[in-house]
Amino acid sequence: MKKKSPPFTSICLIIFFVFLNTTVFSEGDDYDSENGNEDYRTGKELAYDGNYKAAIVYLKKSIRDDPNNPDAFNMLGFSNRKLGNNDEAFSYYNKALDLDPEHLGTHEYIGRLYLNLDQPEESKKHFRILKALCYFGCEELKSLEKAIKEYEMGRVPKKY
């Protein structure tokens, strides 16, 4: 006769797999620290400070040195989106997703680009992808959800 596992063991296994899922399989934005790409870090900082044109210069240098960095392509998409260069933004976002189809930041930002273009259904596709990737929620999911709700309520104080 096979011995049954006590409930305590089952609970411990569940907790272990939850922890494993949230730490090992979560998508962070730490590609830059792994590779020490100074141009990427500078470009990212400039982009988040609103200096998009300068950010693009550094981010393009970054991808010349490391053409497989999805974070750099995502930030190039972000900077171009903020400048209104939608076609370029799509190009960079798509490259980031080619490199990493589960890149959380790219799904959030391309979802915002679709809102800028009055295509909420396309935005919601990326929201659903984020929902599937973020089992227990993540900042990108919450942020895109908030942007979609604001869009649907007609509150569009700024471009996404």
Residue 97 burial class via C-beta count within 10 angstroms: exposed 0-12, middle 13-18, buried 19 and up: buried
Domain 28-152, second-level architecture: Alpha Horseshoe (1.25)
Coarse DSSP helix, strand, coil percentages of the chain, rounded to the nearest 5 percent: 70, 0, 30
Question: Mind listing the pLDDT tens digit for each residue in 95-139?
Answer: 999 999 999 999 999 999 999 999 999 999 999 999 999 999 999
| Residue 84 near residue 107 (C-beta atoms within 8 A) | no
Task: Round to whole Å and give the CA distance between 134 and 105.
Answer: 12
What's this model's pTM, rounded to 2 decimal places?
0.78
Instruction: Give the whole-angstrom CA distance, residue 35 versus residue 28.
Output: 14
Q: Copy the structure tokens of residue 32.
A: 């830059």
Domain boundaries, the chain: 28-152
Dihedral sign of CA atoms 24, 25, 27, 33 in order: positive
**Model confidence over 33-71: pLDDT tens digits?**
345 689 999 999 999 999 999 999 999 999 999 999 999
Dihedral over Cα of 115, 134, 50, 68: its sign: negative
